[in-house]
Amino acid sequence: MKKIFGYVAALCLLAPMSGWAQRTHVRAAERLLQAEKPNYSEIRRLLGLAEAHEETKADPYTYYIRGLVDHQLYKAEYRKLTTPGIPGDTATMFRHVVDELPAWLRADSLDQRPNAQGRVQPRFTKRIQDFLKEDAPKMYDAGLFYLDHKDYARASRAFDYALQAQRLLLPAGERVLKADSTTANLAYYALVSAYTGKLYPEVIRLGKEYRDLSTNQNEVYQFIARSHLAQQDTLGALPLLEEGARRFPKTTFFFGKLISIHQAQGNYKAAVALIDEAIKAAPTNPNLLVLRGNVYFMAQDWVHATEVYKQVLKLSPDNYDALFNLGQVYYNQAVSLLANPLATKLDEHKAKDYFRQSLPHLEAAYKRSPDQVRELLGNVYYRLGLEQRYAELHQEKQ
């Protein structure tokens, strides 16, 4: 009986002693950091043991020291780079200043938990903030460094961490970033880096958090919408496109994509209604009118398409889209008549007239974009019996 009791007592002592041992590992790691030449391999090994243990993996002290390791490595590299005659590595310096943040975010999160009495008494947040007052701007610099080297994943991460560092620097009880110039620029650079690198899931994640804090919001909304579309996520893109159309009515991208989606779904009335809403804000915008004509074109409503394209050409006589599309409208009407097996001589006469009407518009469009227009224009020349012009057109291609 005494043996059993002694065995149970030993088990009761084992768990708290084990946790105590892991905290000792963290303290040992901190002492090693203070050495003249710290053994970083041993420091990381000790911290790894602490992070793997049930008690110390939830202790902010563990992650405070983990962040302090990268902070110290960053400072060591920074001193080399700023001391004449001592070689240093800029990429290494920036890597460490960025890498310090995840551990410190974890430390701060654990530090904000209420104690047994329900009070929040952080032990490390103030120390972390003191370091970040100097280090947060360096994270911004790291992002610019990576962006300059076209390492878009690291650049986006650095800008994102710089934003999170700004949040961590806010007074106690505040964790919502304010839309100042620093935040706006960081948010924009984080998004533009991710988008340029085609990191579409990251663009979407960053967009949810920072799109309304960023500078250049018109462009940012386009980045996020395009990222959804790049992943074939029409449902996710729609709210961004609708909000972009509402906020930036003079930007045809949002309306254009919305219209394309409605067209693909065969919902032409909704597409026209969207354009009409945009035209209210910019009644003389030829690009919006072209979009309206394109909807009718897709619906094969040739009468309304012709009216709209002519309206565009009154406002902008050299508008390539209106010229080419109007030429296609006339061409399609002619071909439709001739494709009818019951076509009469009168239909053939009307078709030829449509070909004649398409000709000046296609010739004007050809001057702007020969490669795109050449084949259609050649067909019109052929249909009208203009062999010389047809031959000259194909000689130009050669």
In a domain, 387, yes or no: yes
- 205: tokens are 């994640």
358 and 332 share one domain: yes
- Is residue 398 pLDDT above 80, yes or no? no
In a domain, 167, yes or no: no
> DSSP states of 77-93 as a string?
HHHHHHSTT----HHHH
Q: What separation in angstroms does the CA of 117 have from each of 16, 58, 114?
A: 22, 18, 7
Looking at 18-27, 105-114, 196-205, which range is the least confident one? 18-27
336 and 278 share one domain: no
Looking at 55-59, 91-95, 232-236, 350-354, which range is the least confident one? 55-59
- Is residue 5 pLDDT above 60, yes or no? no
328 and 295 share one domain: no
- How does residue 370 score in pLDDT terms, banded at 50, 70 and 90? very high
Q: How far does Cα 327 stand from its chain's mean position?
A: 38
In a domain, 396, yes or no: yes
In a domain, 263, yes or no: yes
- 258: tokens are 């919305």
Q: Give residue 393's domain range.
A: 318-398
275: domain CATH number is: 1.25.40.10
307 and 326 share one domain: no
Percent of the chain surpassing pLDDT 90: 68
259 and 302 share one domain: yes
- 373: tokens are 């227009």
- Is residue 9 pLDDT above 60, yes or no? no
Question: What is the pTM assigned to this prediction?
Answer: 0.74
- How does residue 12 score in pLDDT terms, banded at 50, 70 and 90? very low
307 and 353 share one domain: no
In a domain, 261, yes or no: yes
In a domain, 26, yes or no: no
327 and 279 share one domain: no
For residue 268, the model assigns a pLDDT of 82
268 and 305 share one domain: yes
Report pLDDT digits (tens) over 268-310.
888 888 778 777 877 777 888 898 888 889 888 999 999 999 9
C-alpha–C-alpha distance, residues 380 and 324, integer Å: 13
Using CB atoms within 10 Å of the CB of residue 12, give its burial: 0 to 12 exposed, 13 to 18 middle, 19+ buried.
exposed
In a domain, 390, yes or no: yes
375 and 355 share one domain: yes
For residue 64, the model assigns a pLDDT of 96
Select from 293, 311, 329 the last residue of a domain: 311
User: In sequence order, what are the residues at sequence separation of 6 or more whose Cβ sits closer than 8 angstroms to the Cβ of residue 293?
Assistant: 304, 305, 308, 309, 312, 322, 325, 326
- Is residue 138 pLDDT above 70, yes or no? yes
- How does residue 225 score in pLDDT terms, banded at 50, 70 and 90? very high
354 and 382 share one domain: yes
364 and 343 share one domain: yes
CA end-to-end span of the chain: 105
Select from 311, 337, 357 the last residue of a domain: 311
In a domain, 279, yes or no: yes
287 and 330 share one domain: no
The larger pLDDT score, comparing residue 146 to residue 398, is at 146
- Is residue 80 pLDDT above 70, yes or no? yes
Q: How far does Cα 263 stand from its chain's mean position?
A: 25
- 336: tokens are 């439709």
Select from 311, 330, 356 the last residue of a domain: 311
If one counts the domains in the chain, the total is 2
C-alpha–C-alpha distance, residues 190 and 168, integer Å: 18
392: domain CATH number is: 1.25.40
